[in-house]
């Protein structure tokens, strides 16, 4: 072997040694901290109790904002709502009728009575006037004159009484009675809106984009009000959780990109989104290595997550590399 080849081989070995030494030094400055994948789970429930009539999604399925998730039986509320609509229409009809006075047949009969009474008054008036003229000539008795006068007064009073009655017939009902009916109408209408809201709340829709994480009930099962039927996770809210000692806090800041290793030895990135302001003096021992007492401050770092990806999973442990 020539001297030149020996020099090249020695140089290569030296470079490899130097690079290995540099890598060792750099790795010795990396602190490995245990953590785990976490997320903020949404527990989806209905305000109504009843049988689960429809389940529109499956576990692991991607959902969009406004997408239907499930339907709770609300037939009882629908029956009450239909009954309320009938009562409201009836109360409105009663209120309208009261605002018009008595019904038309009463008004027409009173009008006929007034016409008849006026005819009688005309006859009694003529007879009264005739008796007055006869009394002046002493052609009639005082008794006949008084009888004619009495009949005239009675006929006139009857006409006046019937005219007053007709005025009353055309008047609306008493104000306090009308107010009571109007209040009843408003109460029924308000109750109908409440029932409609309960029926709408039984048809549950997603409020945001995400993935169906767990489903707790099957179609046909009885569900209590506010009991979660399923959970949904938003991929934007998946993050890693780990704990730092007070001395290591100086290495991190909000928005910093850090590396972590999955159980499959995949090196991934996360961005620090939360650093606790209060110390955790009793951290979970599950994530302690050799110095649990040093783990004191909780840190969150958001990661890119997809339910269809196998790189990370909710709840699995990871290792954070802190440089």
CA pair distance 94, 23, nearest whole angstrom: 92
Question: Distance of CA 187 to CAs 12, 76, 210, Å?
Answer: 92, 20, 40
Give per-residue pLDDT as tens, 243-258. Answer: 888 878 888 889 999 9
CA pair distance 116, 132, nearest whole angstrom: 25
Give per-residue pLDDT as tens, 37-75. Answer: 999 999 999 988 889 989 999 998 999 999 999 999 887
pLDDT of 290 above 70: no
pLDDT-wise least confident of 59-63, 111-115, 147-151, 168-172: 168-172
Phi then psi for residue 245, to 5 deg, are: -80, 165
- CATH 1.10.287.470 residue ranges for the chain: 84-193
Give per-residue pLDDT as tens, 269-287. Answer: 999 999 988 776 554 554 4
Return the higher-pLDDT residue of 316 and 182. Answer: 316
Confidence at residue 63, expressed as pLDDT on a 0 to 100 scale: 92
Return the higher-pLDDT residue of 284 and 126. Answer: 126
pLDDT-wise least confident of 123-127, 207-211, 299-303, 307-311: 307-311
Return the higher-pLDDT residue of 304 and 98. Answer: 304
Task: Judge contact between 229 and 217, C-beta under 8 A.
Answer: yes
Return the higher-pLDDT residue of 195 and 94. Answer: 195
| Burial of 17 per CB tally in 10 Å (0-12, 13-18, 19+) | exposed
Question: Distance of CA 221 to CAs 214, 218, 226, Å?
Answer: 16, 6, 15
Mean residue pLDDT of the chain comes to 79
Confidence at residue 168, expressed as pLDDT on a 0 to 100 scale: 61
Superfamily of domain 84-193: Helix hairpin bin (1.10.287.470)
Highest mean pLDDT among 138-147, 259-268, 300-309: 259-268
Confidence at residue 173, expressed as pLDDT on a 0 to 100 scale: 55
Confidence at residue 317, expressed as pLDDT on a 0 to 100 scale: 93
pLDDT of 309 above 80: no
Return the higher-pLDDT residue of 122 and 181. Answer: 122
pLDDT of 204 above 60: yes
Superfamily of domain 26-40+234-322: Efflux pump adaptor protein, beta barrel domain (2.40.30.170)
Return the higher-pLDDT residue of 181 and 203. Answer: 203
Confidence at residue 128, expressed as pLDDT on a 0 to 100 scale: 83
Give per-residue pLDDT as tens, 83-99. Answer: 767 676 766 666 666 66
Task: Tell me the average pLDDT across 72-84.
Answer: 75
Tell me the percentage of the chain whose pLDDT exceeds 70. Answer: 74
Return the higher-pLDDT residue of 133 and 229. Answer: 229
Which residue spans within the chain are E strands per DSSP? 31-39, 42-44, 50-55, 62-63, 68-72, 203-205, 210-215, 222-223, 230-233, 238-244, 257-261, 267-279, 297-302, 317-322
């Amino acid at each position: 072997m020539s001297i030149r080849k020996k020099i090249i081989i020695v140089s290569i070995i030296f470079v490899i040694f130097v690079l290995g030494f540099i890598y060792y030094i750099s790795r010795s400055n990396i602190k490995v901290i245990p953590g785990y994948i976490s997320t903020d789970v949404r527990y989806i429930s209905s305000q109504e109790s009843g049988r689960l009539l429809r389940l529109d999604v499956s576990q692991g399925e991607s959902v969009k904002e406004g997408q239907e998730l499930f339907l709770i039986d609300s037939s009882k509320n629908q029956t009450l709502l239909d009954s309320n609509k009938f009562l409201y229409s009836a109360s409105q009809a009663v209120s309208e009728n009261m605002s018009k006075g008595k019904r038309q047949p009463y008004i027409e009969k009173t009008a006929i009575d007034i016409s008849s009474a006026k005819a009688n008054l005309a006859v009694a008036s003529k007879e009264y006037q005739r008796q007055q003229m006869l009394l002046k000539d002493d052609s009639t008795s005082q008794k006949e004159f008084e009888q004619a006068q009495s009949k005239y007064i009675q006929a006139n009073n009857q006409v006046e009484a019937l005219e007053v009655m007709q005025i009353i017939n055309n008047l609306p009902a008493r104000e306090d009675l009308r107010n009571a009916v109007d209040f009843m109408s408003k109460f029924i209408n308000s109750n109908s809106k409440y029932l409609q809201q309960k029926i709408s709340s039984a048809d549950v829709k997603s409020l945001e984009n995400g993935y169906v994480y767990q489903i707790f009930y099957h179609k046909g099962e009885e569900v209590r009000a506010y009991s979660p039927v399923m959970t949904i996770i938003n991929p934007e809210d998946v993050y890693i959780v780990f704990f730092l000692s007070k001395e290591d806090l100086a290495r991190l800041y909000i928005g910093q990109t850090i590396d972590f290793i999955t159980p499959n030895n995949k090196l991934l990135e996360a961005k620090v989104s939360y650093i606790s302001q209060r110390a955790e003096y009793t951290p979970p021992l599950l994530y302690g290595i050799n110095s649990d007492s040093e783990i004191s401050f909780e840190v969150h770092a958001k990661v890119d997550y997809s339910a269809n990806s196998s790189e990370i999973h909710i709840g699995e442990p990871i290792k954070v590399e802190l440089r």
